[in-house]
Amino acid sequence: MGEIRVDSQYLDRLLTDSTSSYGAPYQESSAELAVSHRGRPPVEILPLLRAAADRALLGFAPADLREQAEAISAGRPYVLRVTPG
């Protein structure tokens, strides 16, 4: 399980929010990758997750991204704990 600190004013960068005008929430990108890249090698998924995090202006630790890539590859759920920053 990964953990990230996100300032409450930037939660729309992480979570899909229909009231927000922010166009690149990480939740959408990671959910799409979970469907489209299940079974693919983590090394192939990792740069796509990094790009999604960069677009969302979120600072994930490399270990968290690696865990997410491994979970997507294996088809396992990944829990991300968000704490107020």
Per-residue confidence (pLDDT) for residue 16, from 0 to 100: 75
Per-residue confidence (pLDDT) for residue 22, from 0 to 100: 65
Domain boundaries, the chain: 2-84
Say what the pTM is: 0.82
- The four Cα atoms 25, 79, 70, 13 give a dihedral, to 10 degrees, of 10
Per-residue confidence (pLDDT) for residue 85, from 0 to 100: 65
Tens of each residue's pLDDT in the chain, 85 residues = 556 677 777 788 888 776 666 677 888 888 899 999 999 999 999 999 999 999 888 888 898 899 999 999 999 988 777 776 6
Per-residue confidence (pLDDT) for residue 28, from 0 to 100: 87
- Cα 22–chain centre separation: 15
Angle at 48 between CA 54 and CA 24, to 5 degrees: 45
